[in-house]
Amino acid sequence: MKKILSLILILAFVISPSVFLSGCGETVGASYTPGTPTSYVTLNVNPSVELIVDDKDKVIAVNANNEDGALLFYGQDYRGHDVDVVISEMIRVLSETGYIPAYSEQTAQSVFLSVFSTSLAKEQEVYSKIKVSADSYFEENGLFAIISETKMDNKIESYATSYSVVDSAKFRLMLKIMQYDADAEISNLVELNTLKLLQKAYDEIKKISSIEAISLREDYLAERLELKQQLALDFVEIYNDVTYTTLFNQLEVLKEQYKTAPFEDLEEIKTAILAKADEIEDVEPALRNSHINQVTLKEQNYSQDINETLDSYVSQSSIHTFNYDEQLTEKRISFMQYLEQRQEYARFNNFSYEYQVWKPMTLIEITTFAQTRDNYNLVRTQTRLEVADGLTRINPYTRTFGFGDGTTVTWTFP
């Protein structure tokens, strides 16, 4: 009966995804008036999501970075809610759909979190607030998971170092902005102060998140880049100047070299890029002025093309995401059939680990231990086959799981 009730509650949540956002008298959702963007937060497990947070620690923009994120958080409007509450809600969804497991005996699942804010103090405040809330959820639900700081891989770190950026979260934010806005240049973003950088990120994330279907979003970004590249070629054609054309082609070659160059060559290539850009800046103003009417018309058409392209993909997205609710409902029900047993088994693992090392116990502790051990042995006997079956249903890869008594089970996604 308890399990049936749980499924009914989950179904109600899925059918009406705004339950969590019902507000308690607060102004939330589209009605919330955003404050100044002061933090950029990312959460990564397999689903990946990014958030912009304002000066009241309220979420003002959310964007899923992959299909899993789009599926899990589709239909939710987190705007106007405290960031720690939103992250805890996201973690709840992740745990209910199997992305945060309740079965690891030795290695905790890492939930990767990064925060970039207007100051180090603000960064630490937001990170700590989220971590405390998430850790509390893990403990209360018997989940073997921890919040871990997102680290920058070596290649990206090399690029960041070449631009004297030491904050990995800040540099990832710059790369995101460049991904969403083909007109953004890393050399210009580095010069922005933190508030302007976060405002730019907020503006771009609002645009890209309006395309909810990830596959269409990728098509939009590719088309957006093509428009930018075509505009640059149009200027070359309009100017029809040998010097400008030569410099332009040389700059493009250097940019391509920078993408694949080893770290020891990055500084040299970056210096060459900046020098070449300076040469172009020396000759372009005169060319632009002499062709001002043609250039202005091209730029106006370019801006119009961008807006029309975005509107087109937003319209297409509203059609292509119709099955997200159905997929999410199916995923939740499939997992919730086994969540209760998995949580009990996780608590058993935690309990048995505590007493694996002998320690002096009072008579009351010995009695309590014996009773609890017997109860959890019953849970283990009843649920180990169900756990294996549940894991088969929700894990898209092969894995071997040990039950702590020398026996194991291996499952593969069918």
Which string of DSSP letters, residue by residue, matches 222-289? HHHHHHHHHHHHHHHHHH--HHHHHHHHHHHHHHHHHHH--HHHHHHHHHHHHHHHHHHHHHHHHHHH
The token duo for 320 is 């292509």
Q: Kindly state the average pLDDT of the residues 16-25.
A: 46
Domain that holds residue 230: 213-320
Share of the chain above pLDDT 70, in %: 67
Amino acid letter for position 111: V
Q: How do residues 385-405 score in pLDDT, each as one tens digit?
A: 444 444 444 444 444 555 555
Are 310 and 336 within one domain? no
What Cα–Cα distance (Å) separates residue 336 from each residue in 95, 239, 291, 325? 10, 64, 65, 16
| Same domain, yes or no: 251 and 368 | no
Q: What is the pLDDT of residue 337?
A: 55
Question: Are 42 and 165 contained in the same domain?
Answer: yes
* Predicted structure pTM score: 0.70
Tokens of 144: 């073997």
Are residues 121 and 266 both part of a single domain?
Answer: no
Select from 276, 299, 298, 295 the least CA-distant residue to 287: 295
Among 305, 320, 335, identify where a domain stops.
Answer: 320
**Structural tokens at position 309:** 């392209």
Domain shared by 95 and 23, yes or no? yes
Instruction: Judge if 181 and 304 occupy the same domain.
Output: no
**Most confident among 65-69, 77-81, 89-93 (mean pLDDT):** 77-81
DSSP string, 109-170: EEEEEEEEESSHHHHHHHHHHHHHHHHHHHHHTT--EEEEE----HHHHHHHHHTT---HHH
Least confident of 168-177, 252-261, 359-368: 359-368
- How many residues does this entry show for the chain? 414
Residue 348, sorted as left (phi over 0), alpha (psi -120 to 50) or beta, turns out to be alpha
From the centroid of its chain, how far is CA 122?
Answer: 20
Q: Name residue 82's beta-bridge partners.
A: 58
The most distant pair of C-alpha atoms in the chain lies apart, rounded to whole Å, by: 95
Q: How many domains does the chain have?
A: 3
pLDDT for res 5: 32
Contact status, residue 165 vs residue 190, Cβ threshold 8 Å: yes
The helix or strand, by DSSP H or E, that contains position 335, with its residue range, turns out to be helix 324-354
Same domain, 305 and 342: no
pLDDT confidence bin for 266, thresholds 50/70/90 = confident
User: Among the three residues 208, 233, 264, which one is the final residue of a domain in this structure?
Assistant: 208
66 has a pLDDT exceeding 90: no
DSSP state, residue 60: E
Q: Specify whether 134 is located in the same domain as 76.
A: yes
Is the distance from CB of 27 to CB of 11 less than 8 angstroms?
no
Q: Are residues 94 and 197 in the same domain?
A: yes
Degrees (nearest 5) of the Cα angle 349, 350, 354? 115
Q: What is the pLDDT of residues 136-185, one digit of tens each?
A: 888 777 677 888 888 777 777 777 887 788 787 888 889 899 989 989 98
Neighbours of 405 (CB within 10 A): 9
Same domain, 169 and 22: yes
Question: Does 373 score more than 70 pLDDT?
Answer: no
pLDDT (tens digit per residue) in 309-363: 999 988 887 766 556 666 666 665 665 555 555 555 545 555 444 444 434 445 5
Is residue 195 classed as helix, strand or coil in its secondary structure? Answer: helix
Report d(CA 99, CA 139) in Å as an integer.
Answer: 16
- What angle in degrees, to the nearest 10, is found between the helix axes of 242-260 and 214-239? 150
What's the pLDDT at 361?
47
Worst-scoring range by mean pLDDT, 40-54, 253-267, 268-282?
Answer: 253-267
Residue 177 and residue 302 in one domain: no
Would strands 59-64 and 48-54 be described as parallel, antiparallel, or unpaired? antiparallel
Domain boundary residue among 162, 191, 208? 208
Termini Cα distance of the chain:
30
Identify whether residues 269 and 364 lie together within a single domain.
no
Instruction: Quote the distance between the C-alpha of residue 295 and its chain's center.
Output: 38
pLDDT of residue 329: 66
